Chain A
Amino acid sequence: METFLNRYRNITVLLLVIFAQLVLLAVQVKNDQDVRMIRVWTVTAVTPVARMIEWLRGGSSGLVHDYVVLRDTHEQNVKLRAEMDRLKLENIFLRNELNTADRAKALAVFQAHTPSKTLAARVIGTAAGTNSKVVFVDRGSASGVQRGMAVVTPDGIVGKVIAAYPTASQVMLITDPDFAAGVVSQPGQVRGTLKGQGTPLCKVDYVGGEEKLQVGDWFYTSGDDRIFPRGFPVGVIKAIHPGHPFQEIYVEPAGLQRGMDDALILLEGVHQEIPKEPVASQPVYIAPALAPPADTQARVQPSAGTEADKLRAQYKALGDAQGHKFGEGLPGAKPPDFNLKLPPAGTPAVPGLSGTTKPATMAPAVRKPPAPPSGSVPATQPASEKPPATQSPAPTPAKPPAPAAGTAPATQPASEKPPAAQSPAPSQPPVAPDGTAQRPNSQ
């Protein structure tokens, strides 16, 4: 080394002195971008070297890490798989939350537009039993829920309340083997009895072998069972097995197709029109409220509902005519005269008996409704509580309602439908035995 320095001493000193003066020069001089040359030179000299060093380091490190040292790979793989599984579950949970939000929105829309008085409820548990199709909802008798009330969703009926506790209710689903409901097909107006099978499909019994039905036809509630108002979707026919005297018809319930996290309990059911078109083929459309013409209101009369409804209405009219209030008399008190001859409908002598004033709703509609519990939405005011001038009689929409999946298949409230488009069901008589106009497509 010493020899080397001695040999090249002069040139070394020259280079050092030149370099020192270059540094001195670079400290003072700035380039056109006002950056000192010492910085420019330093960066220019250092960055390529640093880049090369980093390239070598990264390459060596990557080579060692990727090909030589694989010690933690398995552990990382396991951890990443666990993380991926967790994210998948989280994704499913979020999808369910979103689906729940959609259902809740559809439920709210349905609740706001259905003429029935409903109460929103959430499923909080299921009952014991392997074949049992019973769930618990978070609304009970404290909220006005009573045994026998129908439970529906915007897609269709889902069950009925079989027990009402103060804070919860037990709902038998439509698929339970003990479930039964009166149904009517559309088109065809073929009546039958829907029964649960304990399977996803339900069976419609008591449909004669001569009835013309085909796969794809819809069943709606007929209102004959006094639980489900008429016009709620039940399901679509998936299979038909000819038989004698009855066919075997299997129906896929529409109300349970998207699960049942939320549902509506019908506190006061109102009959609806049975749609003429399949629910699934109709777009989502909820028409605004239409005011019927004034001159037609008097001619439109509400239907009396089922035979029991008619009988109840008749008895109430008799009681009103004689000033008797049912349920208030003491035991042994004089009952009203049920053989009293009442004037025909339309005669103003006995207010409350004509079709324009007589309520045409189900039984809950004529009795005093319970106080609306929290969360319930009174869809329409019961017909018996409306003033005669504005009461709307027989609701028949100009266009059949178009319920679709996720929407309310309900028709417009009775007071909002013009009578010109009334279309009575072919299976229903045009005139009720009590003289009131029987409009099967309306309440």
Chain B
Amino acid sequence: MSYTGSERILLNSQREGQVSRFRVWVMLVVPLAAILFQVYVPLFFQFLGFVEMPLLVVVYFALMRRNQVHGLLVGALVGLAQDSLSKNPLGMFGIVNTLVGYFSASVGVRFDVDNWVIRLLLAFFFFAFHQSFYWVMARALLAQQMAFEVRQMLLIGLLNAAVGVALFHFLDRLRESA
């Protein structure tokens, strides 16, 4: 881990990317904590309701693991758990988070995901993808007429990206050392 964000953004090859490993309890507790955060924290702090903590966790694990199957499975499980706690049918968040995990892992292979700028951009991009794809699915599959405020989405995306950078930095401490 001798990379520095100021030196390189793209990796020359997949071998240059180092796969981060996490303990099992981290892989279980962190997503669960993210879901609980989204469920309970807004009850007490409504201004934190914009934070898409499960999404950020999925992006982080997918980016750091650099494994598409791992990323999509994490996304599917987190999404289904998120669906279970929502009023939506099972699969809405599951499908979206699956795609997010898959694409995050795919991106993590090419980018230096330890760069905070990359993390910020990726967090913003996947939040926008998450919101947009969910809106499409809600209209297509559930025939729900959801409002789609681009400005609000972009603003919240930026906030989530910022939260994501901080979260990723925190989660970096839970990685197993090589």
Contact = CB atoms under 8 A, between A and B. Distances in A.
A22 B91 contact: yes
Contact of A29 (B73, B79, B142): B142
B90 interface: yes
Interface string B84-109: 00000111101100110010000000
**Residue among A21, A22, A28, A37 with the highest chain B CB neighbour number at 10 A:** A21
A31 B68 CA distance: 33
B19 to A, nearest CB: 15
B80 interface: yes
Given A10-B102, A29-B142, A37-B141, A17 B76 contact: yes
Contact of B95 (A11, A18, A31, A32): A18
Contacts of A14: 68-69, 72, 98-99, 102
Contacts of B79: 21
Contact of A28 (B90, B102, B143): B90
A21 B141 contact: no
A324 B62 CA distance: 141
A11 B103 CA distance: 10
A21 B101 CA distance: 15
B75 to A, nearest CB: 9
A399 interface: no
Given A9-B69, A10-B68, A17-B76, A22 B102 contact: no
Interface in A77-112: none
Interface residues of A, number: 16
A28 B98 contact: no
Nearest to B137: A25
Contact of A17 (B73, B92, B142): B73
A10 B108 CA distance: 14
Nearest to A9: B69
A14 B72 CA distance: 7
A31 to B, nearest CB: 8
A11 B80 CA distance: 20
A25 B73 contact: no
B69 A25 contact: no
For the side of the interface on B, what is the size category? 10 to 19
B110 to A, nearest CB: 14
Contacts of A13: 68-69, 72-73
A245 to B, nearest CB: 110
Interface string A23-44: 0110011011000010000000
A37 B89 CA distance: 12
Interface string B63-86: 000001100110010011000000
Interface in B33-80: 68-69, 72-73, 76, 79-80
A25 B72 contact: no
Contacts of B143: 31-32
B103 to A, nearest CB: 9
Contacts of A37: 141
Nearest to B92: A25
Contacts of A31: 143
A25 B91 contact: yes
Given A29-B89, A32-B143, A21 B95 contact: yes
Nearest to B68: A10
A28 B89 CA distance: 6
Contacts of B72: 10, 13-14, 17
Which has the most chain A C-beta neighbours within 10 Å: B79, B80, B92, B95? B95
Contacts of B94: 21, 24
Nearest to A19: B95
B90 A25 contact: yes
Interface string B134-165: 00000001110000000000000000000000
Contacts of B102: 10, 14
A39 to B, nearest CB: 14
B139 to A, nearest CB: 13
Contacts of A9: 69
Interface in A255-279: none
A10 B69 contact: yes
A14 B102 CA distance: 7
A290 B125 CA distance: 111
A183 to B, nearest CB: 96
B143 to A, nearest CB: 7
Given A29-B142, A37-B141, A21 B73 contact: no
Given A18-B95, A18-B98, A32-B143, A24 B69 contact: no
A180 B16 CA distance: 133
Given A13-B69, A24-B90, A25-B90, 17 more contacts: A10-B102, A13-B72, A14-B68, A14-B69, A17-B73, A17-B76, A18-B99, A21-B76, A21-B79, A21-B95, A21-B98, A24-B89, A24-B91, A24-B94, A28-B91, A29-B141, A37-B141
7 contacts: A10-B69, A10-B102, A13-B72, A14-B72, A25-B95, A28-B91, A29-B89
Interface of B: 68-69, 72-73, 76, 79-80, 89-92, 94-95, 98-99, 102, 141-143
Top 10 closest A-B pairs, CB basis?
A25-B91, A28-B89, A10-B68, A21-B91, A21-B94, A24-B91, A13-B69, A21-B95, A14-B102, A17-B76
